[in-house]
Amino acid sequence: MARYALTDIHGCARTLKAMVQDQLKLQKTDELYILGDLVNKGPDSKGVIDFILHLQKQDYQVFCLRGNHDQMLLKASQKGDSAIKLTAIEKKLLLENFEIVHLKELPKKYINFLKGLPYYLEVKDFFLVHAGFDFKQTDIFKDTDAMLNIRDYKINWDKLYNKGLLHGHTPTPLHTIKKATSHNEDRLNLDAGCVYYRNASFGNMVALNMDTYELLVQPNTDRPYPVARKS
């Protein structure tokens, strides 16, 4: 059995499939943890969710967390298009992908999936979360907004029971992630900016073997599609 973690798919369904099928060669005895931001920006958010649901239906152990973009899409499905913060081109791509005119028309299947995403998970040796925790809080597990959005925080390891922390949310150059894994750092940001293929530093999806700290790298295979450069 192997355990893997990856994050920030952002609608890059082909890249996710290549990672799972060609790089991980995922087995039903393995565990795959996806740390949020499954949707938005990339070309096939629908395909990402469909692929995950297919794997789960086939009894693969795939566990997904809620990211800020998953939350944003869920909110837009309830409150309308103004609730989503995307460029006009990215929003058009999203609507066309789901074959809808307004986000309130998002099919129930996808709404239910998004509603069911937890904010964090605890396993034997790690806490898994999309962005992180606000360690200034007395109870860090109650601040769901921080779990989705926080950046630039200092970790109080006592509040994590001295377990490791795996997260995404902030695109990070591949060489930085490789350096952190090679040093067996207790905190790892696994967001290699897969969707931002136009940035030389990004455009990769990485998966961490949580037991060996081996890093598997899958370059973006969904390109080309319109996406803004990450500044």
Q: Domain for residue 229, yes or no? A: no
Given the DSSP bridges, would you call strands 3-6 and 31-34 parallel, antiparallel or unpaired?
A: parallel
Q: Domain for residue 101, yes or no? A: yes
Q: Which has the closest alpha carbon to 6: 31, 33, 25, 26?
A: 33
Domains: count for the chain: 1
Stretch 187-205: mean pLDDT: 97
Q: Domain for residue 90, yes or no? A: yes
Rounded distance between C-alpha atoms, residue 33 and residue 134, angstroms: 22
Q: Domain for residue 36, yes or no? A: yes
Q: Domain for residue 227, yes or no? A: no
Rounded distance between C-alpha atoms, residue 80 and residue 76, angstroms: 5
The residues with which 218 forms a beta bridge, in sequence order, are 205
Rounded distance between C-alpha atoms, residue 210 and residue 124, angstroms: 11
Assessment of whether the complete model's pTM goes beyond 0.85: yes
Rounded distance between C-alpha atoms, residue 188 and residue 210, angstroms: 11
CATH number at residue 209: 3.60.21.10
Q: Domain for residue 61, yes or no? A: yes
Q: Domain for residue 231, yes or no? A: no
* pLDDT tens digits for range 94-104: 999 999 999 99
Given the DSSP bridges, would you call strands 204-209 and 215-219 parallel, antiparallel or unpaired?
A: antiparallel
* pLDDT tens digits for range 13-45: 999 999 999 999 999 999 999 999 999 999 999
Please, which pLDDT band fits residue 230 given cuts at 50, 70 and 90? confident
Which residue range forms the structural domain that includes residue 181?
3-219
